[in-house]
Amino acid sequence: MDHSESIPSRERILIVDDDPAQGQTLARVLEMEGFRTAVAEDGRSALQRVDEGPFDLMLTDLKMPGMDGMELFRKVQQRRPDLPVMIVTAHGTIESAIEAVREGVVDFIQKPVYADELVHRFQTLFRERQLRDENAELKSQLLHRDRGDAMIGSSGALEELREQIRRVARTDATVLILGESGTGKELIADAIHFGSGRKHGPLVKVNCAAIPDTLLEDELFGHERGAFTGADQQRRGRFELADGGTLFLDEIGEMAIGLQSKLLRLLQESTFQRLGGSESLTADVRVVCATNQNLREQVANGQFREDLYYRIHVVPIEAPPVRARGDDVAVLAKHFAREAGLRNSRTIESIAPAAVERLRGHSWPGNVRELRNVIERAVIMGSGAVLEADHLQADLGGQSVFRSGAPDREEGTLVSRLMNSEISFEEFERELLVRALERTRGNQTRAARMLGMTRRTLQYRIDKFDIDCAAMRA
């Protein structure tokens, strides 16, 4: 047998054969070629193996007593639709094998099984999958490059950030990205992952503020079958899915303190348990966290564990606000104008000097996100190939966001408008919710805290008034 094309990446194969000797023989041959193997003697034990550990391919005999290969395939599809299955068939069952391929089996091989042919089939299958994965990764990298708005510019603050990213990406250290809303913390996490040795592994993202506390633990750690009502099958959590890659925990300051202890254990020991499970599982995961909150204050207030703070604060990176990036504002604005022009079938050739001055004079509390939105509105509402200063209007009350001096006070408060019967109580309530959500950039947990209500109550009112929180995060 030619060993020159052995698979170096040690894919794991589950062999299912009711003849134990045949199964073990195949396992030994495949292990000599660099594969890892496990053997099951019937469909029931094969399903148990699938539930217990990840496999890259299942090779199963078609004709077996009890549960045959096709029934096993269908059950595996329900549990692990991403697990490819190859069937071994006898001469008289070729038509059944062809029908199996139509149903989704990746390939079939005819008995007697020759090791050289089997290994060649595996190599072809895994090369095709590797090519698909590489193409998907390339598309992802191109997408992130196109979305890398926060990394456009040449200011000293941005160059320092790029250098920090280069240094930390070469390590496996836990990173805490700090900075105001809209400064591009997620893009920094992307750059760290794709600049690291883990770039061929998964990049899994979790927004801790967007998932209710009761569901976040399940999202992170997964659950076993029967762990709770409705858990009719095992579910792998985000930590498991990120094995060999990077897990990005955005808005880490919003994580409930009870869940923080489980995160601490994983960071310290690289072990965790699924909900309803007793087995300690391991995951090789690099964790990158981000927050726009002051975690030191949260530690002092008892809202964040001190030991977890020091564990994630290994390498802090500060995302600079737009106001600290000098001429990058004009560079970013031109980039956003070209993008918005393409999306809206308009050609934007330049930004007028007066408009550039207005952009430079604004404090940009919403940072890159706010700048992008302002430019897109200007492109949509303006006309001509040049973006003019008069086009730079905010969408709140039609007032310009570029004011000199102190901002004007609104004509009357919400309360006085309510008391003077200018608005109904429902209008008052909706406006109050909208303002709180705008101030927190759509962060429902912080908005609920600001309004002195539970998150569930806030979510009920958001649904009641049909408030679009996603637009506030844009």
CATH number (domain holding residue 363): 1.10.8.60
Q: Are residues 174 and 284 in the same domain?
A: yes
User: pLDDT-based confidence at 408, cuts 50/70/90?
Assistant: very low
Distances (CA, A) of 423 to 395, 414, 416, 419: 21, 9, 10, 8
Q: Is residue 144 part of a domain?
A: no
Percent of the chain with pLDDT over 70: 86
Q: Per-residue pLDDT for 206 more than 90?
A: yes
**One domain, residues 255 and 363:** no
Q: What is the pLDDT of residues 237-279, one digit of tens each?
A: 899 999 999 999 999 999 999 899 989 988 888 888 889 888 8
Q: How far is CA 232 from CA 82, 227, 276, 277, in A?
A: 18, 9, 12, 14
Same domain for 304 and 339, yes or no, is no
Of all residues in the chain, what percent carry a pLDDT higher than 90? Answer: 29
Same domain, yes or no: 418 and 380? no
Question: What is the pLDDT confidence band of residue 142, given thresholds at 50, 70 and 90?
Answer: very low
Q: How confident is the model at residue 418 (pLDDT cuts 50, 70, 90)?
A: low
> What pLDDT was estimated at residue 114?
81
- What's 50's domain CATH number? 3.40.50.2300
281 and 304 co-located in one domain: yes
Q: Is residue 406 part of a domain?
A: no
**Model confidence at 132: pLDDT above 80:** no
Task: Give, in degrees to the nearest 5, the angle at Cα 191 between 187 and 197.
Answer: 150
Position 127 scores a pLDDT of 78
Supply the range of the domain harboring residue 458. 414-473
Cis peptide bond upstream of 202, omega within 30: no
d(CA 16, CA 69): 9
Examine the domain organization and report whether 222 and 286 are in the same domain.
Answer: yes
Is the whole model's pTM more than 0.75, yes or no?
no
Q: What is the CATH number of the domain that holds 218?
A: 3.40.50.300
pLDDT tens digit sequence for 351-371: 999 888 888 888 888 888 888
Q: Would the pLDDT of 1 be above 60?
A: no
Amino acid residing at 144:
H
Residues 169 and 306 in one domain: yes
To 5 degrees, how large is the angle CA 278–CA 280–CA 284?
150
Question: For the chain, how many structural domains are there in total?
Answer: 4
- Mean pLDDT across the chain: 82
How much is the pLDDT for 202? 92
